[in-house]
Amino acid sequence: MVPVWSRRSFLQCLGLVATATTAVGRFAMPRMATAATPPTSVLRFGVQTHPEHTSFKDILQVWQDADTLGLDTAFVFDHFIPIQGDQSGPCFEGWTLLSALAAQTQRVRVGVLVTGNTYRYPAVLAKMAATVDHVSGGRLILGMGAGWFEPDHTAHGIPFYTAGRRARRLVESVEVVKQLFTQPKSTFAGKYYQLKDAPFAPKSVQQPHPPILIGGMGPKVIQPLAARHADIWNFFVQDSDPQSAQRVCAQFDAICRQVGRNPAEVEKSTNVRPQQLSAKEMRGRIAALANAGVQHFILSLEPPFDRDVVRRFALEVAAPLREKRTGTPQQSRSAQ
């Protein structure tokens, strides 16, 4: 009998990457798509646990499962109130939660998908990131986004700004963070942020800085920013359609070339969600997206978390796809 996945919707790429987790829908059936650049043989797979309407124990169990099963990455989101369900319900703060989870995992790379720049002053964020990189032994992925969830701001008296202004503030934040990571002392005179002979120690474990993930789809500001500075770009296409993904990837590659960056230097990532599909169907759909240029697939999980979905994603989807790409048999750490 072919295994069937959870009843929750699967492989819906998610909107505005600040969390990349709000849209709901069905994934379009795969269609042949030519990759924007030759697809890499390396694919990565991760999970994102929404830290809302749940407990720390339940989140930790999923992260330790991901760690043991050989998934590559694990993420939380960065919101102060739930983005789904009762907004008066419980919601853990992302970065302090991340530090606790990093301390209780061993190999999985960890991050916030993505940090809301409107409520994270970049110099403070850089200190937080360096600390978590040390706590994790050099496993942090630094996710950064412009911020999108207005109720976070309204409820806590945080200015929301226009979309354009949020994007431009993110540009300066990325510059500030990179300068702090790489200079003994930093001075920065921007429109939105300033530094004056700011020391920064300890530096991160990863040098020159943790991998920077930038999320967003804006073609005028966000995509050029990611093309210049990101190690990973997280993006969204409606219904996770491979042909649409190919077009988006090709457009991003063109922006990379315009700013003088090799497109192959930026990993393209997207979020997927569980749906009532067999493992074989899921592998086919992810393979179609991989052929379109996507390299990193993050399974977005809403509470209550189904740990069996994580197990099947790791063993029946991620491992066979990695093996097919590399020709190397994959094995979870629990089986080693």
Q: Can you give the CATH number for the domain in which 200 is found?
A: 3.20.20.30
Taking each helix axis from N to C terminus, what angle separates 222-229 and 242-258, rounded to the nearest 10 degrees? 70
96 contacts: CB under 8 Å, gap ≥ 6? none
pLDDT value of residue 331: 59
Q: Exposed, middle or buried: residue 32 (CB in 10 Å: 0-12, 13-18, 19+)? A: exposed
Q: Range with the lowest mean pLDDT among 4-18, 128-142, 173-187?
A: 4-18
pTM of the model: 0.87
Q: What is the DSSP letter of 260?
A: T
Among the listed residues 267, 243, 205, 312, the one whose alpha carbon sits nearest the alpha carbon of residue 43: 267
The torsion of the CA quartet 120, 124, 129, 130, rounded to 10 degrees, works out to 170
Taking each helix axis from N to C terminus, what angle separates 279-291 and 319-326, rounded to the nearest 10 degrees? 50
Rounded Cα gap, residues 220 and 226, in angstroms: 11
Domain range for 306: 44-335
Rounded Cα gap, residues 266 and 299, in angstroms: 20
pLDDT value of residue 1: 38
pLDDT tier, 123 (very low <50, low <70, confident <90, very high otherwise): very high
Number of domains in the chain: 1
99 occurs within a structural domain: yes
pLDDT at 325 over 90: no
pLDDT at 5 over 80: no
320 occurs within a structural domain: yes
What is the residue-averaged pLDDT of the chain? 88
Q: Supply 75's token pair.
A: 């993420």
pLDDT value of residue 22: 32
pLDDT tier, 47 (very low <50, low <70, confident <90, very high otherwise): very high
Q: Range with the lowest mean pLDDT among 2-11, 109-118, 191-200?
A: 2-11
DSSP-assigned letters across all residues of 46-115: EEEE--BSS-HHHHHHHHHHHHHHT-SEEEE---SS-SSS-TTS-B--HHHHHHHHHHT-SSSEEEETTE
Beta-carbon count within 10 A of 28 CB: 18
Mean pLDDT along residues 273-282? 82
pLDDT value of residue 52: 98
pLDDT value of residue 36: 58
pLDDT tier, 241 (very low <50, low <70, confident <90, very high otherwise): confident
pLDDT tier, 332 (very low <50, low <70, confident <90, very high otherwise): low
pLDDT tier, 28 (very low <50, low <70, confident <90, very high otherwise): very low
94-103 pLDDT, tens digit each: 999 999 999 9
160 occurs within a structural domain: yes
184-193 pLDDT, tens digit each: 999 999 999 9
Rounded Cα gap, residues 202 and 94, in angstroms: 22
pLDDT tier, 274 (very low <50, low <70, confident <90, very high otherwise): confident
pLDDT at 54 over 50: yes
140-166 pLDDT, tens digit each: 999 999 999 999 999 999 999 999 999
Q: Exposed, middle or buried: residue 73 (CB in 10 Å: 0-12, 13-18, 19+)? A: buried
pLDDT at 9 over 50: no
Rounded Cα gap, residues 225 and 252, in angstroms: 11
pLDDT value of residue 238: 78
